[in-house]
Homo-oligomer: A and B are copies of this chain.
Amino acid sequence: MNENGALRVFLVDDHALIRSGIRAELGAHVDVVGEADEVGSAIELILERTPDVVLLDVHMPGGGGLAVIEAVSKRAPDVRFLALSVSDAAEDVIAVIRAGARGYVTKSISGPELIEAVHRIAEGDAVFSQHLAGFVLDAFASQDPPPGATLPALDPELDQLTPREREVLRFIARGYAYKDVARELSISVKTVESHVSAVLRKLQLSNRYQLTHWATERRLL
């Protein structure tokens, strides 16, 4: 907080237009203490100005928002991040949450909604776009679920896969060879085969090609 009691917010986005839009929408409700259009200066300025909340784009040249979150979190753990993106791909969401963001909203959010989201993040809540909640909870089911969110119905077919199978599925659907998946996950090729067999059987598919399409349709890539 600054001397007026307003939240101190920092913006990171490589598009000047969008930074401008955010500033216009947030208006007088918060104090925008700085902004950056690329990773390096973002890290530097955030550490210097220690805002309450950093609003940042996930997709940026030079490593993207992930690099910013990781670098800042180590040295200024009190700074909270709200990821802002045009993408609602499950992978992006998971990665950015893993890195330490407290929320993830798409750019279709309205001004008032964004203001509320920023305040909730500052108070320690987790904030997600409506249709993302399921994905996020699903991925973190094994660990600690975010506080007080009711989850919408998950994909019944995706639901019958075990977490490990889903992990393997993502690699396979992207065109990884079995041995590449094995190396990525540090398991044997034979185990990968087992998982793939299980996935194909459960989803009633007959080969990897269909798996790629299945995953693409569900926007898992």
Contacts and interface: CB of A to CB of B under 8 A. Distances in A.
Interface string A167-208: 000001011010000000000000000000000000001111
21 contacts: A14-B108, A16-B25, A16-B111, A17-B21, A17-B111, A17-B114, A18-B107, A20-B21, A20-B22, A20-B25, A21-B22, A21-B24, A23-B24, A175-B207, A175-B211, A175-B213, A177-B206, A177-B207, A209-B212, A212-B212, A216-B216
A45 to B, nearest CB: 19
A9 to B, nearest CB: 14
Query: How many residues of A sit at the interface, in one of the four size bands?
Result: 20 to 34
A17 B16 contact: no
A175 B86 contact: no
Contacts of A162: none
Given A15-B86, A175-B212, A212-B213, A111 B20 contact: yes
* Interface residues of A, dominant DSSP: helix
Interface in A74-130: 86, 107-111, 114
A41 interface: no
A221 B209 CA distance: 13
Contacts of A221: 213
